[in-house]
């Protein structure tokens, strides 16, 4: 649904733009990234994976570049694209079994649907994932319905996560014909990288301690609010709306 404000495009909306991370924020599919990269590296370059880059909070562009370099392969755009095509094919293949492999995190479905019921919230993603992989990871658990995938910031865009926030905010402004003030943007994620990406743009940063980082670590990274998980929907809502 395309909603456009009539007339002045400089209009600043009252709405909040909520940008969700996926892995270990909404879903837990731990271990899958490593398996897919092992297979993609072998089929594209013939190399055997010996070193796995760190994944949490990083973009696919950063991970693929580091992976190729670590295996003595020059990370050309062409090779990176081939690896991504392979990763997307693997995620499509895995789609029917993703729900058996992993799980949605507690409260994720309720948080998404509660926000979707509000006129003052627009929901999309800032995720290091590839766009197609993001779609598969969420749809496997029925978490895709309330997300506007078209305005998301994905891991193909940059090695630098804050760029993804800027991109999503610009896309959302274009789509809704209105500008989202920096502090009307809310970034929710499980790592200091998510928090830093939000703070870099003056956004509200919400940490969820369902990944590898403790509540204290997320707080130390500057999160405005830190939640143990998403199971308390009213707490999630209060963090997002700043109330």
Note the residues at the interface with Mg ion (CB under 5 A). 21, 23-24, 190
Beta-strand relationship, 121-125 and 16-20: parallel
CA distance 180 to 19: 12
* CA atoms within 13 Å, Cβ hemisphere of 51: 12
Nearest distance from C-beta of residue 16 to Mg ion, angstroms: 20
* CA atoms within 13 Å, Cβ hemisphere of 9: 7
Closest to Mg ion by CB, 85 vs 167, is 167
Q: Which of 20, 31, 67, 51 is nearest to 164 (CA)?
A: 20
Nearest distance from C-beta of residue 128 to Mg ion, angstroms: 7
CB 211 within 8 A of CB 228: no
Q: HEC states along 25-72?
A: CCEECCCHHHHHHHHHHHHHHCCCCCCCCCCCCCCHHHHHHHHHHHCC
Q: Which of 185, 191, 240, 172 is nearest to 59 (CA)?
A: 191
Structure tokens at 235: 């707490």
Nearest distance from C-beta of residue 126 to Mg ion, angstroms: 10
Nearest distance from C-beta of residue 159 to Mg ion, angstroms: 16
With CB atoms as reference, the residue minimizing the distance to Mg ion is 23
Closest to Mg ion by CB, 55 vs 84, is 55
Nearest distance from C-beta of residue 210 to Mg ion, angstroms: 9
Nearest distance from C-beta of residue 211 to Mg ion, angstroms: 6
Closest to Mg ion by CB, 23 vs 86, is 23
């Amino acid at each position: 649904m395309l909603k456009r404000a009539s007339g002045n495009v400089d209009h600043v909306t009252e709405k909040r733009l909520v940008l969700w991370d996926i892995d270990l924020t909404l879903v837990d599919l731990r271990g899958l990234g490593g398996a897919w990269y092992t297979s993609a590296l072998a089929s594209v370059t013939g190399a055997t994976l010996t070193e796995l880059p760190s994944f949490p909070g990083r973009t696919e562009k950063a991970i693929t570049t580091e992976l190729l370099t670590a295996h003595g392969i020059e990370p050309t755009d062409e090779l990176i694209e081939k690896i991504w095509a392979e990763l997307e094919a693997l995620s499509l293949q895995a789609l029917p079994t993703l729900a058996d492999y992993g799980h949605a995190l507690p409260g994720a479905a309720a948080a998404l649907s509660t926000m979707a019921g509000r006129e003052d919230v627009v929901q999309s993603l800032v995720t290091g994932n590839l766009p197609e992989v993001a779609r598969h990871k969420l749809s496997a658990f029925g978490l895709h319905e309330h997300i506007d995938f078209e305005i998301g910031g994905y891991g193909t865009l940059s090695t630098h996560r804050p760029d993804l926030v800027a991109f999503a905010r610009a896309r959302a402004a274009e789509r809704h014909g209105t500008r989202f003030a920096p502090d009307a943007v809310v970034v929710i994620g499980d790592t200091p990288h998510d928090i830093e990406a939000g703070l870099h743009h003056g956004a509200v940063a919400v940490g969820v301690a369902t990944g590898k980082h403790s509540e204290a670590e997320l707080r130390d990274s500057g999160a405005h609010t830190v939640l143990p998980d998403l199971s308390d929907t009213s707490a999630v809502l209060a963090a997002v709306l700043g109330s």
